[in-house]
Amino acid sequence: MKIFVQSNNDIIPDYQKAIKIAGKPLLAEKLISNEFTKACIEREKDFPTGLQVNSDLGIAIPHGNQNFVNTSSVSFVRFSHPVKFGRMDDKSKDVKCSFIFNLALAKGDEHLTMLRTLMKLFQNKDFLQSVKNKKDKELEEYLYQKLN
């Protein structure tokens, strides 16, 4: 599975733009079709993926239809200005997300396995510190080890 990491210092107006940013490297590498990012945005409207991991940190896990995925991959974006996503546990509320893990998974069973893995990692303070502080290239290698 390929892992992409990028840091973004811009002020992103909404989750739609954040998901487009996350999808860009996947599309450039032809790991997803043009429809994938649109599917993630549409899915996010009805089934938001924002999680309030702790009092200081929100993380979103947007994902879309496996039919639009050519090769399984994850695009991670670290935002210096958090982006509002709907909360997974209450879509009438928002959570400001500093990180997003955009999951592009080609097989249905990968999806649940990846979500379980991420939920465990989100409970690990060392993991969260690493994700926050590592340089992009170093973080790419770290996430590759943790998610593969």
| 3-state SS, residue 94 | strand
| pLDDT surpasses 90 at 8 | yes
pLDDT digit string (tens) for 72-103? 999 999 999 999 999 999 999 999 999 999 99
**pLDDT of res. 101:** 98
Q: What pLDDT is stored for residue 108 in this prediction?
A: 80
Reading the block at residue 49, the tokens are 């993926």
| Cα dihedral 71, 103, 46, 98 sign | negative
pTM score, two decimals? 0.95
**Which of these CATH numbers, 3.40.930.10, 1.10.3720.10, 3.40.630.30, 2.40.170.20, describes 2-135?**
3.40.930.10
What distance in Å separates the CA atoms of residue 60 and residue 45, rounded to the nearest whole number? 13
Percentage with pLDDT > 90 across the chain: 95
Handedness of CA 42, 48, 51, 55 (dihedral sign): positive
Confidence class of residue 109 from pLDDT cuts 50, 70 and 90?
confident
pLDDT in tens, 27-37: 999 999 999 99
79 SS3 class: strand
Q: Nearest to residue 77, comparing CAs of 127, 119, 22, 36? A: 22
Domain residue ranges of the chain, discontinuous segments joined by +? 2-135
